[in-house]
Structure 1
Amino acid sequence: MRPEIVEFGDMSFLDCVKDRSVLAISGFNMATTPEYLIKSLYEKYTSTGHPKSLFIETDALPASSGRALDAILKDAYENGNEDFIRGMLVPFMGFSPWLQRMTVENSFQVYGWPIGITAYWFREIASGRPGLLTKIGLGTYLDPDVDSGSLNEKADEAKECTISKFSISKESYLLYRSPKPEIAFVRTSFSDRYGNLTMDDEPIRGTVMAITQATKARPNPGVVIAQVKKYLGDMSVPPRNVEIPYPLVDFVVSSPEKYNWQASSFYYDPRASFKSNPWNSRELPVEGGERNVPQSQQVIARRVAMELISVINSKGPPILINLGVGIPSLISGIISSEELSRNIVSVVESGPWGGLALTGPDFGVSLGAFAVSTIPDMFSNYEGGIIDVASLGFLQVDRFGNVNPSYIPGKLTGPGGFPVIAEGTPRAYFAGSFTAGKTDISFDKDGIHIKKDGDLVKFVNDVYKIFFSGKEAVKYSKEIKFFTERCVFSLDSRGLVLTEIAKGVDIDKDILNKMEFKPVIASDLKETPAVVYEDGKMNLKYAIKK
């Protein structure tokens, strides 16, 4: 039976969403986010009082500030409609200020599994399995011996999402379980005359297929509702272009143009949907995302980019790297400007390979990518250690090398893809400022000049929540380094080792006195190459051994 094609303005398709339904929603910020479906469902609730007490599961975050999920949460908070949602399984909330606020204020249950875990979980449920069994999360806040994976008290009490620990052949594993989705909201680009769905204009493939299959899986097949930007009428599309075949879809809903943005800052750019030459990506200007990046962040990104050359020289080109949100995402632009795109292939957790990764709320979209994977397939590259390097941000690092990227009391953004990427990669290059808070730091060919330092210490005795376990990394002999604007640390069985400092740094005043613990100081302490503080190209391609 073909899916029902819903005319604009007809909301009867929402009748299948009942009180207490488990609703799966696709979305990586605004990419693949079915904003029209989310908005329409909330409007039905505000006009009728139903459906309410929904449990939402998502692969990443179907929102950006003031858009989609964030917009309805703002209205729910301000108008006392908090019974619309009873709980959420959401990996990231950094670009949804209202979700962050309601999580902190314990408005409803919130569970913070990583992106790769949720994406895999949908695929496992689609296969009829009870949940996801993996080593990811051992020794972190996801490990029941350490914490619960919950992000607030209501989640701790309700336990609708659980993580259990098992031993198989004397090896520890975690089993992630959550309610099976009963309804799915997904977004694609076009529907042909049969109801086959394509993603021609989407910047990512996301997890739409796995979410669809998880919803349709037995023993209780659910309802799949797809938002498209256009119904093609009598046209059909080539089989290889079909992302979701029509037998898996119940309703196809054409939405107004304004609800189909590729990214937070732009509606459509052909380069974001793989319709340009990827090897010309270095010529592509970055549109949207973060601008006016502080010099200290650029310095850190340049130093990490320099470190990648040593990986190329030891392994041989090309190397495969993942770039996280924040400072690491700046490395993509450096790779392009240094003409290293053939030697260093960057992948983003949302699925793109190569190209120029955008930053800020547009993170997840790459201009000029040469390939795009689904999110579950991309995370196989991380969890399986297929990538060579991951560069990720940090908020806190402790004496054991444990890392907290995003959680302090009263403020949290969720794990994102961090735990899976950091734990799976053979080399993790964490990148962040040495202190937090307002600073006055400048750089020139003579090195660093610290006039005013940040007031918040980031290298602490114990992190607030463990998202990356230093102990597990050392156990498996992984290469772990921490890059800041003034120094570099490595991690071994002794803990953090100070291996490099910038010219102009006083070790006692600028480093040791700004840490809660004393690191090991390397006997062959090096000085950061001055080129990272200068403007223009570093000519890194000439450092590659032939």
Structure 2
Amino acid sequence: MSKICDAADAAALIKDHQSVASTGVIGWSTPDAVLRAIGERFEATAAPRELTFYFPVGTGDAVGIPGMDHVAKKGLMRRIVSGSYINPRHPVTGARPALMDLIQNDLIEAYSWPIGATMHWLREVARRSPGYLTRIGLDTYIDPRHGGGKFTSLAQDDLVEVVEFRGEEYLFYPTWPLDVGIVRATAADEQGNLSFEDQPLTSSAIALALAVKASGGRVIAQVSKIVPRGSRPAHEVRIPGVLVDHVVVAPDDMVGTDVRDDPGYLRVVPDAVNHLPRLPAGPDKVVARRVAQEIRPGETAIFGFGASSDAILAMAEDGALDDGRLDDYVFTTEHGPFGGAVMSGWQFSANYAPEALLDGAYQFDFIDGGGCTFAALAFAQIDRAGNVNVSRFGTANPGAGGFIDIAENARRLVFAGTLTTGGLDAGTENGELKILREGKVSKFVPEVDHVTYRIRDGVRRGQQARVITERAVFDVTPDGLVLIEVAPGIDVRRDVLDQIGFPVQLADEVTTMDAALFRP
């Protein structure tokens, strides 16, 4: 019997109160047609109701690929557990993502887990173990003594526990069954054998399918096309049909945000560096250029979402990757691509001109095993105790993503971002930085709103950590921040120290940042 059905028929299989899991990484690998059909069925019939959604990674961009926004409806969604959330407003309408409205108005139970945990937890479900045990995340926001990853007051259940094992504390994530799993692939045959040849990422697809089947649930696969059985080499079929119950064909769905068919996201392509976008002028570009100075050839370097991932584009624009020198570097993200260039914005997660790809769960094995010696990550807040926050601040609720796993396991850390935010306007002139309008919000605060990582604890374990902004650079020591560099044209007292909500030490010799960072 054929497993092929339309999206509406697949959505009709979901029952009230079930647990539904879906793949997707921002716009990449998002089964948008199936998620849309679930939302449309609810609008038409008020069913299914009170579902628990499990998204290992934030799915969709809430713009051209709505993803999780399709199912962000009160009554349809009772609870959500996700490794990240989509926060930016629609660039045209200014509307907030529907899921953010549900969270900020406390209309659902919302939890945020680190992506390392969401990936590894699926494996524990797949092997029917009692749960996932890890030391990563202790004393951060995911620790139940600091909130347990709860993002709304309706989220009352403790989904994470602190346990003692052999005299040491661990975080424990108990498992529960998943009733429905939705994955995105390229092609299927009538038996449901799945291949991923036009997908830049596989994300959690394999782990999710295994977890759902171990739970006795149904796996729905969205694909672009149907191919004859036996037409592909066995090593190209990443998920066998025994793990797939239903196949939905959606040939017109985008591969990723603003990407329909670009071979550069799938393999090495000629002249890849000249295909990369340029960064707009401004303070973020200065930050990216300064981060680039920390990157070493031959060192496996991992980049997070935001200002940190712009560093490779800055290197390309400034000629550092010309004449084949891109091959001298090993760039990756938490989602598994290796080689080529890490992209920024909505194209982040996939690399351009990659050489290899790891499945999402295996990538976190690599990260947690110390495979990424250098990491560049963004920051929203840093406080006097050396805590960094990217998970919840102001009206934003992005969650940690892969931040905690990456930060805890790298040897050299760079945290990148502007010194202030909220209207900051800065320009460059004659190799100097000019603050035209100061940001209304300081990012260096007495106490962070959320503890995503404790930098000074890492430094005490032997990590090297540095904070890079557009106007100053700081080293993190066991005793606090030490100012080591200042941009030319900047007044140290007015533009740096007075903008920080706590005392900062000055190095014996505070040097001037390279004037080349501030050229047009």
TM range (shorter): over 0.9
The question of whether the paired residues in 2 share the 8 Å contact of 1:188 and 1:227 is answered with yes
Rounded Cα–Cα distance in structure 1 between residues aligned with 2:99 and 2:360: 23
Q: Give the drift of 1:95.
A: 5.0
Match for 1:367 among 337, 352, 360?
352
Give the drift of 1:192: 2.6
1:258 corresponds to: 252
Distance 1:24 1:518 in 2: 46
In the other structure, the counterpart of 1:5 is 3
Q: Is the 8 A contact 1:323 1:332 kept in 2?
A: no
1:233 paired residue among 224, 228, 231: 228
Aligned to 2:47: 50
**Residue of structure 2 equivalent to 1:122:** 122
Structure 1 position 304 matched with structure 2 position 291: yes
Q: Is the 8 A contact 1:109 1:158 kept in 2?
A: no
1:316-465 alignment runs, 5 A limit:
317-336=297-316, 337-339=319-321, 340-465=325-450
Corresponding pairs, count = 506
Q: In the alignment, is the contact (CA less than 8 A) between 2:83 and 2:114 conserved in 1?
A: yes
- Structure 2 unaligned runs (5+)? 89-96
Partner of 1:100: 100
The corresponding residue for 1:538 is none
- Cα shift at 1:186: 0.6
Give the structure 1 partner of residue 132 of structure 2. 132
Q: Identity over aligned residues, as a percent?
A: 29
Aligned residue among 167, 177, 181 for 2:178: 181
Q: 1:86 aligns with which of 73, 78, 81?
A: 78
After superposing the two structures, state which structure 1 stretch, 298-307 or 177-186, moved more.
177-186
Instruction: Please report how far the alpha carbon of residue 71 of structure 1 lies from its aligned counterpart in structure 2 after TM superposition.
Output: 4.3
1:528 aligns with 2:508: no
Equivalent residue for 1:213, pick from 203, 210, 215:
210
Q: C-alpha separation between the residues in 2 aligned to 1:194 and 1:7?
A: 12
Distance 1:204 1:154, change over 3 A: same
- Given the two structures, how large is their TM-score scaled by the length of structure 2? 0.93
Match for 1:523: what amino acid?
D
CA distance in 2, matches of 1:31, 1:398: 34
The corresponding residue for 2:489 is 504
Per the TM alignment, residue 123 of structure 1 is displaced from its structure 2 partner at its CA by 1.5
Change (3 A) 1:284 1:127: same
**Residue 494 to residue 283, structure 1, CA distance change in 2 (3 Å):** same
Q: Deviation at 1:235?
A: 4.9
In structure 1, the gaps of 5 or more residues are 77-81, 536-546
Q: Distance in 1 between matches of 2:121 and 2:280?
A: 36
**Is the contact between residue 63 and residue 95 of structure 1 (CA under 8 Å) also seen in structure 2?**
no
Cα RMSD over matched residues? 1.9
| Counterparts in 2 of 1:492 and 1:242: CA distance versus 1, 3 Å | same
- The correspondence of residues 23-62 of structure 1 with structure 2, limited to 5 A, is 23-62=20-59
167 and 474 in structure 1: CA distance in 2 versus 1, 3 angstrom threshold? farther
Paired amino acid for 1:285: L
Aligned-pair distance for 1:73?
A: 4.8
Q: Are the counterparts in 1 of residues 62 and 86 from structure 2 also a CA contact under 8 Å?
A: no
Q: Tell me if structure 2 keeps the 8 A contact 1:192–1:237.
A: no
**Per-residue CA distance 1:84-111 (angstroms, 9 max, x = gap):** 0101011222357221221111111111
Change in CA separation of 1:73 and 1:51 when aligned onto 2, cut-off 3 Å = closer
How many Å separate the matches in 1 of 2:157 and 2:105? 16
What SS is found at the alignment partner of 1:510? helix
In structure 2, C-alpha distance between the alignment counterparts of 1:149 and 1:38, rounded to whole Å: 25
Look up the SS of the partner of 2:75 in the other structure.
helix
CA distance in 2, matches of 1:480, 1:146: 24
Deviation at residue 524 of structure 1 after TM alignment: 2.3
Match of 2:265, as an amino acid?
A
| TM-score (ref. length: structure 1) | 0.88
Give the match for residue 188 of structure 2: 191
SS state of the match for residue 83, structure 1?
A: coil
